[in-house]
Chain A
Amino acid sequence: MASAPTAPPAARFPASPSRAPFGRFLAAAFTVVLAISLREAGVDPRLLVQSDAVGNAARFVRGMFPPALGVDFLGLLVRPVIETIQISLMGTTIAVVIGFPLGLLATASLMWRGALHERTPVARRALLGGVPYGLARALLSVFRAIPEYVWAFMFVRAVGLGPFPAVLALGVAYGGMLGKVYSEILEGVDSRPIEALRAAGASRAAIVLYGLVPSALPHLVSYTLYRWECAIRAAAILGFVGAGGIGQQLALSMRMFQFDEVLTELAVLFALVAAVDFVSGRIRGRLV
């Protein structure tokens, strides 16, 4: 500053607050964990620039062009694409079938809390409301925590190989996610129409049907459509571990080092995901 008066002694202005100890601790912890993890995960940037890696990368990129565009090959891809779409649709449907009832049961404001239950005695509330609520939440949690491929693997034991176990796996895992989000949406619904209905003497079922569902429905459907977008990607991934569809084709082509096929299949996957995102986006736009 050009025209500053004689500088006041340092003690005249407040000292900087002791740097929040948590911040320092976090920074230190982060550095330590990163250092250890770098070693554990065998991270070696030099590997990337070694001749092997560069050579392999070059082979990969060169092998992709020109992409495999023979009519036979393209025809071969039709069935897997359809299969992936069907897996995603069916999986999401089952997820709704599982997730919606459980989601209803896992909504505190429906089961034991809030305006609907004020006049119910505590014991009755706990038994008829609290217990199913707890069970539903636990079940949804388990469904969500176990990865889809583990579910898929278990279902293969039950029903054999093919797309069906993948559908079930998606249904269960996504059912857990849908159920949780459904319950959150239902909890967040504006309570005034509900109270109005209750004041008018409506039964609990009527309150749910006429008060809760209509206002929550757009959000429920919107999130379900979003899940479908994820499902199409998950279906592709499950294909890698044997569930059919475009994912299985990709894995096959990679294993056989047919990179030109990989490029075509990737393009198809892109198109598929973009199409699903587009359709889902349009419907969601109409809703909200």
Chain B
Amino acid sequence: MYALSDVRKVFGNDAPALDGVSLTVGRGEHVAFIGPSGAGKTTLFRLLNLTLRPTAGVLLIDGVDVAALDGAGLRRARRRIGTIYQQHNLVGRLRVVHNVLAGNLGRWSLSTAVASLMRPRAADAARALEQVGIPEKLWARTDELSGGQQQRVAIARVLLQDPDVILADEPVSSVDPSLALTIVTLLRDLSHQSRKTLLVNLHSVELALGYFPRIVGVREGRIAFDLAPDEVTPELLGALYAGHSDATRQLDRIHDGIGSYGTACRPLPGFSK
């Protein structure tokens, strides 16, 4: 699905946000990215969802070089990637139905898009909302929903977009811990059902280790490790988060066996744990 070789991203005259990143992700894989804030995970995701271009190196998506994409081709490629952000990625003043149907914008002509604002095909949106568990919010104004509900609307939008890849950039960092587990499992189950590739950027090491079969650690713009969860040792984690105090507290808690998420880890059929 994705093949990155020696990708580098520089903004202006600053130090590179990403450097020497090489990574391959196959179709249908579930990968969790962890690392301290500022490590470059978000930049990596913005490269993966074609919001940004690499400054150097090669990024192949399904064998196609991203650098060759432009205009309509770029939009077609973007359509195949669905993104969920940490927060504020929905248009607050629009009703939920419109935000969900916006997943179709990559397919629709402009006139269809405008017409949908006036007469939306609510049935499609309703189905997606049912899958994420909030069908009753169909006509609510999006900014009246709680953070967790808004994230579910964002997921519903991705469902309508029906992409090949789902990228989730810290989808549960601004959400109640009790809800975080629900959302992560929702993402996992939905991707598994439709065989989509799922790449998630997580602040919580616990969620990553407990629910994903492949863990990539990112630190200071480089990939520190790329392993299965049982190969991720406390030493590796310590080195990854060295110098970031809040994260090390999290690690201590995991080490002491105190979970933030209450329920026992539930392995996904087909993945070993």
Question: What residues make up the interface of A, taking CB atoms closer than 8 Å to B?
Answer: 1-5, 7-8, 10, 12-14, 16-17
Assess whether A10 is in contact with B159, with CB atoms less than 8 Å apart.
no
Q: Is B175 an interface residue (CB 8 A)?
A: no
Assess whether B127 is in contact with A14, with CB atoms less than 8 Å apart.
no
Residues of B within 8 A of A12 (CB): 126, 135
- Give Cα A281 to B101, complex, Å: 45
- Give Cα A63 to B162, complex, Å: 62
Residue of B nearest to A14 (CB): B138
Interface footprint category on B: 10 to 19
- Give Cα A11 to B128, complex, Å: 16
- Give Cα A3 to B128, complex, Å: 12
Q: Is B136 an interface residue (CB 8 A)?
A: yes
Assess whether A14 is in contact with B124, with CB atoms less than 8 Å apart.
no
Assess whether A16 is in contact with B162, with CB atoms less than 8 Å apart.
no
- Give Cα A17 to B159, complex, Å: 24
Q: Is B194 an interface residue (CB 8 A)?
A: yes
Residue of B nearest to A8 (CB): B127
Tell which of A2, A5, A7, A17 touches B123, judged by Cβ atoms closer than 8 Å: A7
CB<8 Å pairs between A and B, sample of 17: A1-B124, A1-B128, A1-B159, A1-B160, A1-B162, A2-B162, A4-B127, A5-B127, A7-B127, A8-B126, A8-B127, A10-B123, A13-B126, A13-B135, A13-B138, A14-B138, A17-B139
Residues of A within 8 A of B105 (CB): none
Residues of A within 8 A of B64 (CB): none
Knowing A1-B127, A3-B194 are in contact, say whether A14-B159 is a contact too (CB < 8 A).
no
Q: Is B122 an interface residue (CB 8 A)?
A: yes
Residues of B within 8 A of A4 (CB): 127
Residues of A within 8 A of B135 (CB): 12-14
- Give Cα A14 to B123, complex, Å: 10
Residues of B within 8 A of A16 (CB): 122, 139
Residues of B within 8 A of A7 (CB): 123, 127
Of the candidates B123, B124, B135, the one having the most CB atoms from chain A within 10 angstroms of its own CB is B123
- Give Cα A8 to B128, complex, Å: 12
B102 to chain A, nearest CB (A): 14
Residue of B nearest to A9 (CB): B123
A1-B127, A12-B126, A13-B129 given; 17 more Cβ-contact pairs under 8 Å = A1-B124, A1-B128, A1-B159, A1-B160, A2-B162, A3-B194, A7-B123, A8-B123, A8-B126, A13-B123, A13-B130, A13-B135, A14-B126, A14-B135, A14-B136, A14-B139, A16-B122
Residues of A within 8 A of B128 (CB): 1
- Give Cα A13 to B128, complex, Å: 11
B163 to chain A, nearest CB (A): 11
Residues of B within 8 A of A14 (CB): 126, 135-136, 138-139
The number of residue pairs between A and B whose CB atoms lie closer than 8 Å in the complex comes to 34
- Give Cα A2 to B138, complex, Å: 21
Knowing A1-B127, A1-B160, A7-B127 are in contact, say whether A13-B122 is a contact too (CB < 8 A).
yes
Residues of A within 8 A of B122 (CB): 13, 16
Residues from 92 to 148 in B contacting A, C-beta threshold 8 Å: 122-124, 126-130, 135-136, 138-139
Residues of A within 8 A of B159 (CB): 1
A108 to chain B, nearest CB (A): 34
Residues of B within 8 A of A2 (CB): 162
Residues of A within 8 A of B127 (CB): 1, 4-5, 7-8
Residue of A nearest to B119 (CB): A16
B94 to chain A, nearest CB (A): 14
B122 to chain A, nearest CB (A): 7
Give the top 6 A-B pairs by smallest Cβ distance, nearest first: A13-B126, A14-B138, A17-B139, A16-B139, A13-B138, A13-B135
- Give Cα A14 to B129, complex, Å: 11
- Give Cα A7 to B124, complex, Å: 9
- Give Cα A17 to B97, complex, Å: 12
- Give Cα A1 to B136, complex, Å: 20
Residue of B nearest to A16 (CB): B139
Residues of B within 8 A of A5 (CB): 127
Residues of B within 8 A of A10 (CB): 123
- Give Cα A17 to B136, complex, Å: 12
- Give Cα A3 to B192, complex, Å: 13
Residue of A nearest to B97 (CB): A16
- Give Cα A157 to B80, complex, Å: 76
B131 to chain A, nearest CB (A): 9
- Give Cα A13 to B162, complex, Å: 21
- Give Cα A13 to B100, complex, Å: 15
Residues of A within 8 A of B129 (CB): 13
Of the candidates A2, A5, A13, the one having the most CB atoms from chain B within 10 angstroms of its own CB is A13
Residue of A nearest to B129 (CB): A13
Residue of B nearest to A13 (CB): B126
Residue of B nearest to A12 (CB): B126
- Give Cα A14 to B127, complex, Å: 12
B195 to chain A, nearest CB (A): 10
- Give Cα A34 to B128, complex, Å: 41
